Amino acid sequence: MENDMELNGRVAIVTGAGAGLGRAHALLLARHGARVVVNDIGEAADRVAAEIGAAGGEALAARGSVTDEAQVAAMVEAARERWGGVHILVNNAGILRDSSFAKMSLKDFRDVIDVHLMGAAICTQAVWGLMREQGYGRIVMTTSSSGLYGNFGQANYGAAKMALVGLMQTLAIEGAKNDIRVNCLAPTAATAMTDALLPPPMKALLVPERVSPGLIKLVCDDAPTRAILCAGAGSFERAFITLTPGVYIGAGDDAAEQVAARWDEIADRTGETVPDAGGAQIQCEVTAASQAASQT
């Protein structure tokens, strides 16, 4: 195994690590040499921490909800006191409250946003200052194809998961000067959350252990930043948010009609780019307008 994939001496927090993907992540991080803080809301955290210890690794169980700022702060402080810092954060904790939007209660919408989005924000902010002081950090947000591409019955889940992509994009920019790299993992796995949704043959392929190898690349010393890695059944892909070259139409009285008439040109993906930051859209639009003005 290449040395840059080893995590010896690194301290990793994995939220929602009592079962499923979180457990698989925690076990593999430990196998690669990381000291692991196993977070979950119940005694499952203790079991996974004990499992890591029995295999010769180092682990600390941290019970608590990612939505509880005090509990999260205590978890980070416990890791710092025992091992001197936190180098890796894997925001994995999540819940499902599936329903079509017409039948979905706003409480179920808020609950999912609170755990997935606010939970990730709370945990990330709790380690952010420490990572800046260290001049090193690796953070992974758990997004989903439901957020990237949509999925019936998951308006709340999809909204939360796409919001995490936006959080990743900005934090990667803000963290760059302190070598804090932030990425997204979009897993497809059979877990307790998806147990009722998948037929048995698919479950046999979509085991969490076939996702976690992708996580190691996202948290190692040679990790990328601002990557969206999709993973499932042992297959790995990357997703990108792109910008087409577009068409300059201007502000004439027929602008709305022109947008409709030239829709296919606007949507043409030839020459599309992956912007470095949100300002790329502004620059593209202002440049097009300036060029058009200079030609009149």
Span 99-109, pLDDT tens digits: 999 999 999 99
- The residue behind tokens 């992509």 is 165
CB 183 within 8 A of CB 139: yes
Sign of CA dihedral 112, 116, 119, 125: negative
The mean predicted confidence, pLDDT, of the chain is 95
- Residue 146 shares a structural domain with residue 9: yes
User: Is residue 120 domain-shared with residue 260, that is, in the same domain?
Assistant: no
Contacts by 212-217, CB closer than 8 A, 24 or more apart: 212/21, 212/24, 212/25, 212/27, 212/28, 213/28, 214/185, 215/25, 215/28, 215/29, 215/90, 215/140, 215/185, 216/5, 216/7, 216/28, 216/29, 216/32, 217/5
Phi, psi angles (nearest 5°) of residue 135: 70, 30
Helix (H, G, I), strand (E, B) or coil at 263: helix
Helix, strand, coil share of the chain (percent; to 5): 50, 15, 35
Query: Is the same domain home to 147 and 200?
Result: yes
Mean pLDDT of 223-229: 98
Residue 244 lies in a domain: no
Domain contains 250: no
Residues 233 and 265 both lie in one domain: no
Domain that residue 269 falls in: 255-294
Residue 81 and residue 57 share a domain: yes
Q: Is the pLDDT of residue 204 over 90?
A: no
pLDDT at residue number 1: 38
Query: How many other C-beta atoms are found inside a 10 Å radius of the C-beta of residue 58?
Result: 15
Same domain, 98 and 221: yes
Asked if residue 246 is part of any domain, the answer here is no
Cα angle for residues 259, 261, 262 (degrees, 5° grid): 65
Q: What is the pLDDT of residues 20-74, one digit of tens each?
A: 999 999 999 999 999 999 999 999 999 999 999 999 999 999 999 999 999 999 9
The reply to whether the predicted model has a pTM over 0.85 is yes
Residue 28 belongs to a domain with what CATH number? 3.40.50.720
Is the residue at 31 inside a domain?
A: yes
Q: Is 59 left (phi over 0), alpha (psi -120 to 50) or beta?
A: beta
Q: Catalytic site residues?
A: 157
Q: Domain count for the chain, please give it.
A: 2
Is the predicted pLDDT of residue 3 greater than 70, yes or no? Answer: no
**Do residues 59 and 181 share a domain?**
yes
Asked whether 234 and 210 are in contact (CB, 8 A), the reply is: yes
What is the arithmetic mean of pLDDT over 257-274?
Answer: 98
State the Cα–Cα distance between residues 91 and 122, nearest whole angstrom.
Answer: 10
